[in-house]
Amino acid sequence: MGRSKTVSDVALLDLLLPVLRNGGPAGLTFAKASNAVGLAAASLVQRFGTREAMIVAVLGHAWDSLIAKTATLDAELPSTPQGAIELLLQLLPGDEADYAVDDGLMLLREDLRNTVLRARGAAWGKSLATALGRRLADEHSEAQRLGWQMASIWQGALIWWAFMRGARVEEAVAHSLEGWCRSVGVLPDA
């Protein structure tokens, strides 16, 4: 009979995410993971098999959290253009914006290289574009087009904020999103 797990999979992945974020994919070893979670490295090898599988599991867990947060916001926020802006603002990394656009890109690279993680990102993008589009237009194809555009403006605004860093990230991104909404006619001119 196998032993019961002293640390649940979810709790384990929660503990490993900061280790991955701080050291990057190359820095997440079984030894470092063992120190972070208080389990023997051999126990982690039994759970994950390989270091690469452990990285994929941790990043998959991060996608689970982002998908759940997006779904919660989609259900709670108003179906208006301002609700779309608020949804994206609440998905911003907040106090971790510097990390997200600096070291966080190392993790994004892993997401892009791995077919399973890349598919997770693509699926999230589709659901995000749908959530945004419903708030911007009634007709399905127009809603999809505007939803994808708004998601792209959001990411672009975050990247440009990272270069300039003149205002708080929330202010800079909100300004870009509001300007785009006005330019496509879903918000009245200020």
What CATH code is carried by the domain that includes residue 137? 1.10.357.10
CB 38 within 8 A of CB 31: no
pTM of this prediction exceeds 0.85? yes
Give mean pLDDT, residues 105-117: 87
End-to-end CA separation in angstroms for the chain:
68
Question: Is residue 25 in some structural domain?
Answer: yes
pLDDT in tens, 40-75: 999 999 999 999 999 999 999 999 999 999 999 999
Q: Which single residue is written with the structure tokens 């470092």?
A: 32
Question: Is residue 150 in some structural domain?
Answer: yes
Range of the structural domain that residue 111 is part of: 9-183
Question: Is residue 1 in some structural domain?
Answer: no
Question: Is residue 75 in some structural domain?
Answer: yes
Report d(CA 146, CA 10) in Å as an integer: 35
Question: Is residue 188 in some structural domain?
Answer: no
CB 174 within 8 A of CB 89: yes
Say how many domains are in the chain. Answer: 1
pLDDT in tens, 142-163: 999 999 999 999 999 998 998 8
Question: Is residue 3 in some structural domain?
Answer: no
Question: Is residue 43 in some structural domain?
Answer: yes
Question: Is residue 49 in some structural domain?
Answer: yes
